[in-house]
Amino acid sequence: MDNFTDEKKLILEIMNGEIDKFSIIIDQYQNRIFSYFIKMGMNYSDAQELTQETFFKAYTKLDQHNLSKKFSTWLFSIAINLMRDFQRKQKWMLKLPFAVNENVADYRTPESEFIYEDQKKSIMNLLNVLPMKKKQILILRYLGELSYQEIADILQISSMKVRNELFSAKKKLRSTIQEKGDDLNEMLRNFGD
């Protein structure tokens, strides 16, 4: 369902009563939404709960989706709003865990595992110096692999603002690395220019 036209057709079918096809939507986006919550620092059970709530809300409000826009943009908007509501209710401070590639874990030695965990901790600490909006933009862009326009639509800001915030966030990360003297430049390259 990579094609925008196919996605639009599927949504119209669901809106016209073929509700069992909503499972296709869930299969397509469930891991991305859940991963977003985890990468934003939520624990597993809260991330699961908010993922379910995201799809429930998307289903019940499907008639409000603008079919001229990508469904993923609208779905991420719902997820972000639910997370904000959750944070307000919980008065919870986020800590960003680094995304773990489980396939790589099988090939680690004890020494490489120690280094990996140390680097992961350093990156978490680095990202936590950023304001929430900048952290969200970094995660959506580089871990969620969304375009500037998709991020702009989700956060309801201009794509130029996304570019500026991204530039500012990377600049802040680089200066923090230089201040601390940490040798994380190789990992920071993942954030591109």
Q: Are 69 and 96 in contact (CB under 8 A)?
A: no
- Read off the tokens for 48: 């699961």
Q: Are 172 and 134 in contact (CB under 8 A)?
A: yes
Q: Is the pLDDT of residue 186 over 70?
A: no
d(CA 31, CA 44): 13
* Amino acid 103: pLDDT: 41
Give the orientation angle of helix 110-127 with respect to helix 159-180, to 10 degrees: 120
* Amino acid 30: pLDDT: 93
pTM score, two decimals?
A: 0.58
Q: Are 51 and 30 in contact (CB under 8 A)?
A: yes
CATH numbers and ranges of domains, the chain: 4-90 (1.10.1740.10), 102-191 (1.10.10.10)
> Mean pLDDT over residues 155-183, rounded?
82
DSSP class of 157: S
Q: Which residue has the tokens 């865990």?
A: 97
d(CA 189, CA 193): 8
Q: Are 79 and 23 in contact (CB under 8 A)?
A: no
Q: Are 47 and 38 in contact (CB under 8 A)?
A: yes
125, HSE (Cβ side, Cα atoms, 13 Å) = 11
> Mean pLDDT over residues 124-145, rounded?
79
- Read off the tokens for 149: 């326009």
Considering the chain, what is the average pLDDT of its residues?
78
Q: pLDDT tens across 42-60, in order?
A: 788 888 999 999 999 999 8
What is the enclosing helix (H) or strand (E) of 21?
none
- At 70, is the pLDDT very low, low, confident or very high (cuts 50, 70, 90)? confident
